[in-house]
Amino acid sequence: MAHGKMTAQKQTVLVVEDDDGLREAYRDALVAFGGFDVVALPDGLDALQYLVDDGVAVLVLDLGLPRVSGADLIAELGVHAATRHVPIVVVTGNPSSVNPEHVDAVLTKPVLPDDLVDTVRKCLQSERQSTHPDARHQAAEQQHLDTKSRHDDA
């Protein structure tokens, strides 16, 4: 018997966006056009706890989040065996600020619903075909150490 958040019928997508309107728009598009189960959260700290406790098929992530930033969340996920495999789709107004080694896809705001759904589907297909390369884990681990060092120095 299958258990957890990923079943043959539906897969859970976690949307982390602090803007209420965008968070609901992303959720609605992924449910209506993609048929996904969606959990939508407003900040990185809640997202990290959810990912560790429940797991998801794909993470759709804004970078400018309260409590734990999207960049810090990416770094944290990359160093944990339970979460490093989760495909990450960053949705941002500033795509040049994203290191492509740390994520699976980057979408520039504003995002069309079809583009979001298509990108999530592509991430799921890629995830089924292979695992993330060690380079992504190593890059995330280095970013995690750099972030920790900055916080320790403060």
| The pLDDT of residue 127 | 72
> DSSP of 10-74, one letter per residue?
-BEEEEE-SSHHHHHHHHHHHHHTT--EEEEESSHHHHHHHHHHT--SEEEE-SS-SSS-HHHHH
Q: Are 56 and 42 in contact (CB under 8 A)?
A: no
Q: What is the separation of C-alpha 140 from the centre of its chain, rounded to a whole number of angstroms?
A: 13
Question: What residues contact 77, with CB distance under 8 A and at least 6 apart?
Answer: 48, 51, 59, 83, 84, 86, 88, 140
Residue 15's closest CA among 128, 107, 85, 133?
107
| The pLDDT of residue 152 | 55
| The pLDDT of residue 128 | 62
Q: Are 17 and 91 in contact (CB under 8 A)?
A: yes
- Segments in the chain below pLDDT 50: 1-9, 131-133, 135, 137, 139-140, 143-144, 147-151
| Cα distance between residue 45 and residue 65, in whole Å | 9
Report whether CATH 3.40.50.2300 matches the domain 12-153: yes
| Cα distance between residue 117 and residue 16, in whole Å | 15
| The pLDDT of residue 153 | 54
9: exposed, middle or buried (Cβ count in 10 Å: 0-12, 13-18, 19+):
exposed
β-bridge partners, 133: none
pLDDT digits (tens, 9 = 90+) for 44-84: 999 999 998 998 999 999 999 999 999 999 999 988 888 98
β-bridge partners, 39: 14
